């Protein structure tokens, strides 16, 4: 039983926190979900002395979720910036060609307007 409390639960908490953080993207909600699950486990399977372990697992879940959030945001923001730069370059080129075609046609059709 000690192996389950001191080895399996912390490893499971870390793995589930990583998965939930990638899905929910909110470390506080991940910790709240972990606390709720372990609170149910405390009063259904163990006694009140397991409540201390519940708080420890909740803190472990919160720390893991913050770490995953920090690394995931840094990696994801770099990828999004690169994709946005490529997208802006593609759209800029398309818009420039459309603008040049439109402006050249306006030059020939509307010669009376003033251009500033």
| Residues contacting residue 28 through CB under 8 Å, at least 6 positions apart | 62
**d(C-alpha 27, C-alpha 46), whole Å:** 26
Question: Does pTM top 0.85 for this prediction?
Answer: no
Residue by residue, pLDDT tens for the chain (116 residues) are 678 888 999 999 999 999 999 999 999 999 999 999 999 999 999 888 899 999 999 999 999 999 999 987 666 655 555 555 555 555 555 555 555 555 544 545 555 555 55
Predicted pLDDT of residue 72: 77
Are residues 39 and 61 in contact, defined by beta-carbon separation less than 8 angstroms? no
């Amino acid at each position: 039983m000690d192996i389950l409390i001191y080895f399996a639960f912390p490893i499971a908490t870390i793995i589930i926190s990583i998965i939930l953080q990638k899905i929910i993207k909110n470390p506080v909600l991940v910790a709240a979900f972990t606390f709720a699950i372990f609170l149910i486990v405390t009063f259904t399977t163990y006694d009140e002395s397991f409540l201390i372990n519940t708080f420890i697992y909740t803190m472990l879940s919160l720390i893991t979720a913050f770490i995953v959030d920090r690394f995931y945001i840094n990696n994801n923001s770099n990828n999004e910036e690169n994709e946005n730069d490529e997208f802006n370059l593609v759209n800029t080129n398309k818009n420039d060609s459309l603008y040049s075609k439109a402006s050249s046609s306006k030059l020939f059709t509307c010669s009376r307007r003033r251009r500033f």
